[in-house]
């Protein structure tokens, strides 16, 4: 949907449907205004972004120059939107709102709600929700797994929106009762958001000592507005020297057990907790691969420690996947360990 020669979506759709591309006056005015505010002129390349397949419904937005459109063909609709997320998302929302109004009188109202779980496999989730699997009717439940998070999509259909909402509420309540504390959020709520809510509720502060995750947990937490009230400090102690100097890990402990060990993870958590004067300290050390593994300590071996109060809980994990996969699931697992600890004290 862009202005350059390799952006051929509109041309391809025009050729496929056999309809000409025609200029859209409002798209031209919007792009002119946007570029005037940004750069003060209208480069010739952007003129192609005003060309829309004849008969298509145009989808405008104010976050860029790309103009989207939707075109019907043999009772199917092709919708073309820009790939930049900041531009695509509001345009998609606008399209869905218009589409929902148009189709409501014909197909009723279908609403979707997403729930997110951690600490339970996708197979176990499907087994727990098998009453909804493969059934024709007004409720469908689908699952999707990523980095340890299993998301559950609930689709409810009814003649009226209010009835679809009642169905969603009922199914959500059933799922939460069935899966308990493995459910950590709904919609756009993330694990880090769930942790931030509990930190505020419990009035607890947290500090992180990360090795194999390279600061990924800190990055996730700092995506939450207002987290500075509770997240005090994050240290990426990647080398043995950093673990010793910054966190107070005894050198003989590293020599005896290795940097990837429950003993070192424990001292990392307790060391960062003391250093930051935080209520909670987290230590993460592991082997993300592909190098650095031994027979005794394979790729994916990760130790995560959470120190809260006078107690420190250390868990060993054996994750699989690429280096990036292991980092992501390790970060999510650490957040979930903290979440469950806070659930216990809340």
What are the sequence ranges of the domains in the chain? 9-105, 109-186, 191-339
Q: Any idea which residue has 């500075």 for tokens?
A: 228
pLDDT digits (tens, 9 = 90+) for 194-251: 999 999 999 999 999 999 999 999 999 999 999 999 999 999 999 999 999 999 999 9
213: helix, coil or strand? Answer: coil
Q: How far apart are CA 264 and CA 249, in angstroms?
A: 7
Residue 208: per-residue pLDDT: 98
CB neighbour burial string for 14-49, b if at least 16 within 10 angstroms, e if fewer: beebebebeebeebbebbeebeeeeeeebeeebebb
Right CATH number for 109-186 from 3.30.70.2860, 3.40.50.2000, 3.30.530.20, 3.30.70.20? 3.30.70.2860
In the CATH hierarchy, which top-level class contains the domain 9-105? alpha beta
State both tokens at 343. 């659930």
Rounded Cα gap, residues 316 and 284, in angstroms: 10
Q: Which two tokens stand for residue 85?
A: 């997320």
* CATH match of 191-339 with 3.90.950.20: yes
Question: Is the Cβ–Cβ distance between 91 and 69 less than 8 Å?
Answer: no
Report the chain's mean pLDDT, rounded to a whole number. Answer: 89
Backbone φ and ψ of 246, nearest 5°: -90, -30
Whether 68 shows a pLDDT value over 90: the answer reads: no
Q: Which tens digit of pLDDT belongs to each residue from 126-168?
A: 889 888 765 556 888 889 999 999 999 998 888 888 888 999 9
Q: Give the residue among 108, 106, 112 at the shortest CA–CA distance from 75.
A: 106
Alpha-carbon distance 313 to 261, whole Å?
13
pLDDT at residue 29 tops 70: yes
Q: What is the pLDDT of residue 212?
A: 96
Compute the distance between CA of residue 248 and CA of residue 261 in angstroms, rounded to an integer.
Answer: 15
Span 169-196, mean pLDDT? 95
The three-state secondary structure class of 24 is: coil
DSSP assignments along 59-118, one per residue: E--SSSS--EEEEEETTEEEEE--S-HHHHHHHHHHHHHHHHHHHHHHH-EEEEEEEEEE
Q: Which of 10-24, 46-60, 89-103, 145-159 has the lowest mean pLDDT?
A: 89-103
pLDDT band per the 50, 70, 90 thresholds, residue 107: low
3-class SS letters over 123-166: HHHHHHCHHHCCCCCCEEEEEEEECCEEEEEEEEEECCHHHHHH
| Residue 225: strand, helix, or coil | coil
pLDDT at 85: 82
pLDDT of 45 above 60: no
Is the predicted pLDDT of residue 104 greater than 60, yes or no?
A: no
Hey, which of 7-16, 85-94, 318-327 has the most confident mean pLDDT? 318-327
What crossing angle do the helices spanning 191-202 and 323-345 adopt, rounded to 10°? 30
């Amino acid at each position: 949907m862009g202005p350059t020669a390799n952006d051929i979506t509109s041309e391809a759709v025009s050729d496929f449907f056999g309809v000409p591309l025609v200029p859209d006056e409002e798209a031209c005015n919007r792009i002119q205004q946007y570029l005037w505010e940004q750069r003060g002129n209208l480069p010739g390349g952007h003129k192609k972004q005003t060309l829309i397949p004849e008969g298509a419904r145009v989808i405008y937005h104010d976050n860029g120059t790309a103009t989207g459109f939707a075109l019907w063909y043999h009772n199917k609709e092709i919708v073309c939107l820009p790939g930049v997320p900041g531009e695509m998302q509001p345009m998609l929302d606008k399209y869905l709102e218009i589409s929902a109004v148009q189709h409501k009188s014909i197909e009723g109202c279908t609403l979707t709600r997403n729930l997110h779980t951690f600490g339970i496999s996708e197979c176990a989730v499907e087994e727990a929700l098998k009453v909804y699997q493969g059934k024709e009717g007004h409720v469908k439940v689908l699952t999707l797994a990523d980095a340890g998070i299993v998301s559950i999509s609930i689709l409810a259909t009814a003649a009226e929106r209010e009835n679809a909402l009642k169905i969603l509420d009922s199914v959500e309540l059933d799922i939460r009762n069935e899966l308990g504390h493995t459910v950590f959020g709904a919609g756009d709520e993330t694990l880090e958001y769930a942790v931030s809510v509990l930190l505020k509720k419990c009035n607890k502060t947290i500090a992180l000592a990360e090795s194999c995750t390279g600061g990924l947990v800190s990055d996730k937490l700092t995506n939450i507005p207002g987290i500075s009230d509770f997240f005090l400090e994050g240290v990426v102690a990647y080398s043995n020297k950093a673990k010793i100097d910054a966190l107070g890990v005894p050198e003989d402990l590293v020599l005896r057990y290795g940097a990837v060990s429950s003993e070192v993870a424990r001292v990392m958590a307790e060391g960062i907790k003391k250093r930051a004067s935080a209520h909670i300290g987290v230590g993460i050390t592991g082997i993300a691969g592909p190098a650095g593994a031994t027979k005794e300590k394979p790729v994916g071996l990760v130790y995560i420690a959470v120190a809260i109060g006078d107690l420190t809980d250390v868990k060993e994990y054996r994750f699989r996947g690429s280096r990036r996969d292991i980092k992501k699931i390790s970060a999510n697992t650490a957040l979930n360990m903290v979440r469950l600890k806070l659930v216990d004290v809340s």
